[in-house]
Structure 1
Amino acid sequence: MSANRHYRGTNEAGRVVMVVADVLAVILGLWILMYLLDANRGNDLVQFVHNAAGWLAGWSHDLFTFDEAWARVVAGYGLAAVVYLFVGHAIANRLRRY
C-alpha cells in the first residue's frame, strides 16, 4: 500500500506541474491575442495580463529583431509559451514515471 501511495503522490505532483505550465502558457497566449487585437491598455485586466506575460517572458522578450512589432511579440512571447509547455509537460511526464 505504501508503494501505491507514493505513486499516487508523484502522479498528483506531475498533474500540478502540468497545470501550472498550462496556466503560464495561457497567460502568454492571452497577451499575444490581446496585443494582436489592440486591447485597451488602460483596462486593469489587460494591464495585469501584460505585466504577468512581461515577467514570464522576460528572458525571451525582444529576443528577435523583426521589423514589425507584432512579429516580435508573437515570436518572443510565443517562444516563452512553447518552452513553458514543453518543459512543464516533460517534468510532469518524468514525475509520473516514478
Structure 2
Amino acid sequence: MSSRNRNGSNQAGRVIAVVADVMALILGVWILMYLLDANRANDLVQFVHNVAAWLAGWSRDLFTFDEEWARVVAGYGLAAVVYLFIGHAIANRMHRY
C-alpha cells in the first residue's frame, strides 16, 4: 500500500477513534451529572442529557435494576464502552491496512 493511502487510512482511523471518544465522553458526563443530581432545568444539562439519551437509545432501558441510578450507570455506561470498543477496533484495523 502506498504511503499516501496509508496516511489517509491513519487519518480516518484517528477521526473514528476521536468520534468514539467524544461519544463515550458525552455519555460519561451525563452519568456524572445524573449521579451528582445536576439541575435538569439548566440548558447544558438538558443538552447533554438529550444527546446521551440519543446515543444510548438502544441500551438505556436494557437493565431493570431496582435503583434508578444503577439503570442509568449500566445503560449509559454500556453504550459508552461499546462505542469505545468498536470505534477503537475499527481505528486499529484501519491503521494496520
Structure 1 and Structure 2 fold alike (TM over 0.5): yes
What does residue range 10-89 of structure 1 map to in structure 2 within 5 Å? 10-89=9-88
* Per-residue deviation, 1:62: 1.0
**Deviation digits for residues 9-43 of structure 1 (CA, Å, limit 9, x no counterpart):** 10000000000000000000000000000000000
TM-score (norm 1): 0.97
Equivalent-residue separation in structure 1 for 2:66 and 2:32 (angstroms): 19
Q: TM-score, normalised by structure 2?
A: 0.98
Taking the aligned partners of 1:80 and 1:28, their CA distance within structure 2 comes to 8
1:82 CA drift (Å): 0.1
Residues matched between the structures, number: 97
Q: Structure 2: state its 5+ residue gaps.
A: none
In structure 1, stretches of 5+ residues that fail to align are none
Using the alignment, how far apart are the partners of 2:74 and 2:9 within structure 1?
34
Ranges of 4+ aligned residues in structure 1 off by more than 2 Å:
none
